[in-house]
Amino acid sequence: MNEPLIREGKPGDLEQILRNNLAMALETEGKSLDKEKARKGTEAILKGEVDGKYYVIEVDGKIVSQLMITKEWSDWRNCYFWWIQSVYTLPEERGRGYFGLLYNFVLQKAREAGACGLRLYVDRSNTGAMKVYERYGMDLSNYEMYEKEF
């Protein structure tokens, strides 16, 4: 096995990232995503049509771990927070430190860009993920998230 390569996602990664996104939603939230809607959303990011980026870890030509970044402006702090979303590591690749590699890579990128910090949200039932995020020094927010889907 070769060393893991951390890189920005590109349009040719669409099928692998989409497959991971579908698996992540089902595994962590019990949701079956609309495949075509998820494809279009993933593709928009990979083509640079919206303000977001995927970062992936590739090993031997296969994406083994990924996350997506979007940005949210804070008028209180006069800078952007970077939101980590769509975090997924293939089940057979877990425990190898791939999330930590991605997290530290994104943390450095965010600092270089002048971001306020990193945020992410997680389903409260996903206690395994919550423990991982706490290990990386992320604090549980006091805020609850409210959502209205259209």
Please report, for residues 41, 85, 89, 101, the alpha-carbon distance to residue 97 in angstroms, rounded to integers and kept in the order given: 28, 18, 10, 6
Q: How many residues does the chain have?
A: 150
DSSP 28-75: HH-----HHHHHHHHHHHHTTSSSEEEEEEEETTEEEEEEEEEEEEET
The H or E element that residue 112 is part of is helix 98-112
Residue type, 49: E
* pLDDT at residue 121, rounded to an integer: 84
* pLDDT at residue 129, rounded to an integer: 85
Domains of the chain and any CATH numbers? 5-135 (3.40.630.30)
CA 143 remoteness from chain centre = 20
10 Å Cβ neighbour count for 129? 15
Does 30 have pLDDT greater than 80? yes
* pLDDT at residue 35, rounded to an integer: 97
Q: Are 110 and 53 in contact (CB under 8 A)?
A: no
Mean pLDDT of all residues in the chain? 94
Q: What is the pLDDT of residues 51-101, one digit of tens each?
A: 999 999 999 999 999 999 999 999 999 999 999 999 999 999 999 999 999
Which residue, among 104, 25, 24, 118, has the nearest Cα to 57 in the 3D structure? 104
Which of 7-21, 58-72, 117-131 is predicted least confidently? 117-131
Q: Do the strands 79-89 and 62-74 form a parallel or antiparallel pair, or are they unpaired?
A: antiparallel
